[in-house]
Structure 1
Amino acid sequence: MKKMSKMICMVVAVVMCVAVFAACSPAPAASESPAASESAPAASEETTAPSAEASEPAAAGGTEINPAEYPVAIAMDSKNHPVHRMVQLGFLKAAKQLGYTDAQVIGTEGGDANEVYTACDTFAAQGGKGLMLWRGDDTAFPTLKKMEAAGVKVGIAHFKFVEEDGTLPQGLNFNLACDPAEYGAKVADFMAEKLKGKTGTIAVTQNTKNNTENAAVEGFTKRMEELKMDGITVLDAELEGADATQAANVTAAIIQKNTDLLGAFSTTGGGSASWSTAAQKAGKADDDLVLVAMDITEENLKYLTDGKIDALVYQPLYEEAFQTMENLDKLFRGEEVPLWTVLNAPLVYVGGTGESDPATYQTYIDEVKTWFEQ
């Protein structure tokens, strides 16, 4: 009997030890998912803890969040520029469709980058969670690091920052844009077709020196060299600047200096106005110069359909901003997004079909007017 009692006591003691060990062992976190594990890319790691309501898995495999608790913003200079308004439209529409009730446009009316960066700092300090930053050079790097330290997810569209090895600057979660070198080559093919059998010069103008415009010019000139068009020379790129009067003076001077000018490729959204104005003042007929510029705006579309210019490159402004907001939403939910995405930039011209048809883009222009009550 004593031996049996002793055995029973030993069994009870063992059971109690097992129970205590199990209770003290750490259990897996309820919100843990593959996207939040150590093996996930840095761009998809969640640095901001979701609210209590956001702990249920979403239908798509991410984490449920309350979008109303996630302020988002698009930060840019020259906020009222018609090209920038189309970008803002894409971002704000996506935010609205995804349920984000605090979606802002921050930055400045002018072109001061420092004011844009200051607005980003303020946004982060006020609890901002996601940012689309509209900057195209390395002056953005200190701000990207600040946003990372504040737990703000950042996407940059339109400007290519991804390195050859596929890495991004610290603090940048993802990057998407069309390939400027690719559309520069498209413009070269278009102009070459128009200028068959002619001899003379082709001008190239930029707004400023920046990653995007530099790449477009390089793509254009490289393709023209490959085409080996006898008797045609591509001039060195000149800067138009952002001021419309200055730009028209620059382009007029190019026409005056180059009496054999056959056409021009402007890598800026103001190129339609500057080149058509200069050509008209120089007494050129609409078909004397082959002119290609950038961006679909109401004014640019009219220059195109009126025959004042020959083609426009449609940078996917609306689409890239819309997808930026979609990517931010995925990151908030602990999902992965590509570090780098290339988008198509079609050439738009009278007689084109589908994405090359000018009529395709009138809806965007009308919606910008309605959205911003212009």
Structure 2
Amino acid sequence: MSYKAARSTGLTFGAAIAALLALSQASPAAEKNLLWVNPLRDHPVCKIMQAGFLDKCKELGYACEIVGNPSATSFDIPASIPLADAALARTQFAAVAVVGNDPAINTYISRLARDGYPVVTWHILPPEGSVPGLKAATGEVIPEAGANAAIAMGDKLGGKGVVAVTEGSYNTAENDMAAAFKKTMAEKYPDIRVLDPELEGYEPSAAQAKAVALLQGHADVTGAFSTTGNGLQTWSGAARAAGRKLVIIGMDYTRQNLDLIKSGEAYGIVAQPLYEEGAKVAELSAALAEGKAVDYLNPLPAKVATAADLEPYYAMLKSAGQ
């Protein structure tokens, strides 16, 4: 509403000015947009994060958009950055969220910052100043998550056995989690041998084939830890194919993973705060868009959930429409 329009309604000069001020200050978030950039957009785990982001955006009154290669089965930065740039060219965004677990994407974060966008990342917590221009980060503390998995695995195995470790890709987050798992196991359960990490990948049939081959090459493996969200499906399938009984711990409270734990085919998951991360990203991005100060580090807990702990996660998935 313009000043002329406000006066045309019969308001006095002072009342017209007050009306315009109230209009400009009411729900400023409703006039703003937030962008979420994820080069593994349609991975089931990423969808949970995005549900938290979109739900919190709606609650805060922001219009939010998700971009990333929708057909990617691995972390596809080259195909996703042009999609993000296209979105930025057609829409005025007040802040941008970019998942930051690769040097190439960190370079993009710095470029966005130079272009004037407040940038938030999630899922890993890079040290402050290590990614130039990054304003805030939220997610689990990766070494703590790896340590929690080791303790749960070590207890279940009774302090003895051999554990295989697989990663979706050799990225910073998964490398650090696997390293923390091995370090904690060595400190607390010295009679458990942890094999060096193997690459699992993100394509389900290929991942299972790799896990079966690993079991065939290591007849003494009694446990498996995967640092990626499809890991429970990979290892439970491999155990069935190989006729082996394993203690399996993976990542993330996807419905398939919860069902595998409920059925007894897997032992547990590191319940990464996926939905919570997405919601926190929206909260931080909105605050930065409004010129507010935020803490750089915003860590979230990630406990290991087993069969007795599943109901809250089923409820969270239901609220996310999954």
User: TM-score when scaled to structure 1?
Assistant: 0.76
**Structure 1 partner of 2:311:** 359
Quote how far apart the aligned CAs of 1:167 are. Answer: 2.1
**Aligned partner (choices 268, 271, 276) of residue 236 of structure 2:** 276
Q: Which runs of 4+ in 1 moved over 4 A?
A: 51-56
Q: Offset of 1:79 from its aligned partner?
A: 2.5
Q: In 1, Cα distance between the equivalents of 2:263 and 2:208?
A: 19
* Structure 2 SS opposite 1:161: coil
The 2-side partners of 1:182 and 1:363 are apart by: 25
Q: Which amino acid aligns with 2:158?
A: K
Structure 2 residue 64 is matched with structure 1 residue 103: yes
Counterpart contact for 1:65–1:332, Cα < 8 Å = no
Match of 2:301 in 1: 344
Matched position secondary structure for 2:307: coil
Distance 2:180 2:159 in 1: 23
Deviation at 1:207, TM superposition (A): 0.4
Q: Does 1:246 align with 2:203?
A: no
The 5-angstrom pairing of residues 193-204 of structure 1 reads: 193-196=155-158, 198=160, 200-204=161-165
For 1:241, the aligned partner's letter is G
Task: Say which of 196, 210, 215 aligns to 1:236.
Answer: 196
- SS at the partner of 1:152? coil
Aligned to 1:191: 153
Any idea what the Cα deviations from partners look like across 1:239-275, whole Å, max 9, x if unmatched?
A: 0001101100111011111111110111011111110
Shift in alpha-carbon separation, 1:188–1:365, aligned structure 2, 3 A: same
Q: Distance between the aligned counterparts of 1:125 and 1:337, measured in 2?
A: 27
Residue-pair matches, total: 299
RMSD: 1.9
How many Å apart are 1:192 and its aligned residue? Answer: 1.3
Partner of 2:116: 151
Counterparts in 2 of 1:141 and 1:190: CA distance versus 1, 3 Å: closer
Is 1:216 aligned to 2:177, yes or no? yes
Look up the equivalent residue of 2:180 and give its one-letter code: G
Contact 2:100–2:106 under 8 Å retained in 1: no
What secondary structure, in the 3-state scheme, does the structure 1 residue paired with 2:150 have? helix
Q: TM-score under structure 2 normalisation?
A: 0.87
Q: Please point out which of 260, 284, 294 is paired with 1:303.
A: 260
The amino acid of 1:276's aligned partner reads: S
Distance in structure 2 (CA, Å) of the matches to 1:362 and 1:145: 37
Distance 1:197 1:121 in 2: 51
Deviation at 1:298, TM superposition (A): 0.9
Q: CA deviation at 1:115?
A: 2.1
1:54/1:338 Cα in 2 relative to 1: closer, same or farther (>3 Å)?
farther
CA contact (8 A) 1:89 1:368 kept: yes
**Residues 1-374 of structure 1 mapped to structure 2, 5 A cutoff:** 66-100=28-62, 102-111=63-72, 112-126=76-90, 127-162=92-127, 166-196=128-158, 198=160, 200-230=161-191, 232-284=192-244, 288-351=245-308, 357-369=309-321
| Distance in 2 separating the partners of 1:326 and 1:197 | 42
Question: Which whole-Å CA distance do the structure 2 matches of 1:167 and 1:146 have between them?
Answer: 15
After superposition, give the CA deviation of every residue in 1:134-193 in whole Å (9 maximum; x if it has no partner): 23111013322332233222100102222xxx3241221111110111111111111111
Q: Secondary structure at the match of 1:261?
A: coil
Q: Which amino acid aligns with 1:361?
A: Y
Q: Identify unmatched segments of 5+ residues in structure 1.
A: 1-50, 57-63, 352-356
Q: Distance in 2 between matches of 1:273 and 1:228?
A: 26
Alpha-carbon deviation of 1:65? 6.0
Give the SS at the match of 1:292: strand
C-alpha distance after superposition, 1:113-151 (max 9, x if no partner): 122211222233232221111231110133223322332
Q: Distance in 1 between matches of 2:266 and 2:175?
A: 22
